[in-house]
Structure 1
Amino acid sequence: MKELEIKTAIQISKSPTDVFEAIVNPVKMSNYFISKGDARMETGKTVNWKFPEFPEMTLTVKVIEVKASELIVFEWEGAKDQFLEVRINLEEMPNLNTLVKISEGKMKNTVEGILWYGRNTEGWANFLACLKAYLEYDINLRNGAFDFMNSKKKR
């Protein structure tokens, strides 16, 4: 049975240095993804992220490796009780563009694994779209995007 692994990518019209800073710097990341991070992502550090739409949740990220403007590797609880590795590769492209490649995994091809695969693939696609919108257009796509999840109104 083949294991599941998430792989996704997007090209961003900014330099690898700009993209890297937007990911490792919690102040910049709070402009498109998190509401707060307690530290910069650096090799060997553990950082905590809070999300604007889920104020009661704190996500702990264990940073494994960071190479400036090239690579960010961390481990997190990608699924309940499953600590998974995330790799973010930054590849310089022509005209100061950056190809951002993300992989996460692996999990067994089970019901739990398939649910993780769908949920986290959606999450990484959202992350990449938000990162691109922030860096290229200074827009925070998450503003109000998840208000429906906290709404007590019945539909």
Structure 2
Amino acid sequence: METKIFVQAQMLIRKPINEVFEAFINPEITTNFWFTKSSGKLEEGKTILWEWEMCGAKSEVKVHQIIPNQLIKTQWGSPATNVDYEFKEMEKGTLVIIKSYGYFQIEDDLLAIINDNTGGFTTVLDGCKAYLEHGINLRLIEDKFPSK
């Protein structure tokens, strides 16, 4: 049974909304702060493969809806959960809110996935902020899961 629990991470990125939105749909940008490889740009109705080569992980990402500069609705992971990316124009930049929901885990397994998703999406937003605002790839995902 699906839980009604969701994870939310958010960050103000001091760049225009169109630049921030593009960073999440265009793998040429996203690979500088999140996954290392993608089969293509996010497009509504498509399924894209994301890879994290540093830890041998892959995930199919189903893109359910895209509203330019506002919303990206996806489903991915194993088992698959919903992940929405919301973009809100603010006076000082763009607020990005990532929500993950639709968990089927229970008890300790649910706590583990909530912890992992909260930390993971916070790390993604931190990396995005550093890259878009300062042009720095902090290699946060790679260093969070070092191979040796």
The two structures have a TM-score, normalised by structure 2, of: 0.90
CA-based RMSD: 1.6
- Offset at residue 106 of structure 1 (A): 3.1
> SS of 1:87's equivalent?
strand
Q: Does the CA-based 8 Å contact 1:4-1:109 persist in structure 2? A: no
Structure 2 Cα separation of the partners of residues 94 and 146 of structure 1: 32
- Offset at residue 30 of structure 1 (A): 1.1
Unaligned runs of 5+ in 2: none
Higher strand share: 1
Task: Report the counterpart of residue 35 of structure 2 in structure 1.
Answer: 34
Q: Does the CA-based 8 Å contact 1:88-1:101 persist in structure 2? A: yes
From 142, 145, 151, give the equivalent of 2:143: 145
Runs of 4+ in structure 1 displaced over 6 angstroms? none
The amino acid across from 2:127 in the alignment is: C
Q: Does the CA-based 8 Å contact 1:73-1:85 persist in structure 2? A: yes
Q: Does the CA-based 8 Å contact 1:53-1:150 persist in structure 2? A: yes
> SS of 2:143's equivalent?
coil
Task: Report the counterpart of residue 127 of structure 2 in structure 1.
Answer: 130
Structure 2 Cα separation of the partners of residues 9 and 43 of structure 1: 23
> SS of 1:145's equivalent?
helix
From 97, 102, 107, give the equivalent of 1:106: 102
Tell me the alpha carbon deviations over residues 6-62 of structure 1, each in whole angstroms, 9 at most, x when there is no partner: 0111100001100011110011111111111111101101001111422x3221100
Task: Report the counterpart of residue 9 of structure 1 in structure 2.
Answer: 10
> SS of 2:110's equivalent?
helix
The amino acid across from 1:71 in the alignment is: L
Which protein is bigger by CA-based radius of gyration?
A: 1
Structure 1 Cα separation of the partners of residues 111 and 5 of structure 2: 8
Q: Does the CA-based 8 Å contact 1:32-1:130 persist in structure 2? A: yes
Q: Within 5 Å, give how 1:69-88 maps onto structure 2.
A: 69-77=69-77, 80=78, 82-88=79-85
Unaligned runs of 5+ in 1: none
